[in-house]
Amino acid sequence: MSETIFSKIIRREIPADIVYEDDLSLAFNDINPQAPVHLLIIPKKPIATINDIQEDDRELVGHLYWVAAKLAAEMGFADDGYRTVMNCGENSGQTVFHIHLHLLAGQPMGWPPYSDKRKQA
């Protein structure tokens, strides 16, 4: 896997507003938030896309969701609701090829989450 900005954040070569860290993961505020709360939760192990997750990564990926629920509870929005999103590939909007879980909260969210001009059925 090629070097990404997330690898540099993990190594503290690039600053980030880190809100959580453990041996497996790191969570920080997104620099381009799409909601009042927009965190990125990343594994410290580099995995480019969902398609690259291996069988032995199952617990690691589950851990990212556990961190999301933990942060939602600690930050006080678990009961109001929140959204988690993990994009896969360019057509999904993935721009950093190191899997990351978006945790969005703090406002009502519509469905589907289209941001373009396509008709929504």
Catalytically active residues, by annotation: 100
Place of tokens 């909260």: 105
Distance CA 12, CA 6 (A): 9
- The tokens for 58 are 């199952």
Q: What pairing do the DSSP bridges indicate for beta strands 101-105 and 37-43?
A: antiparallel
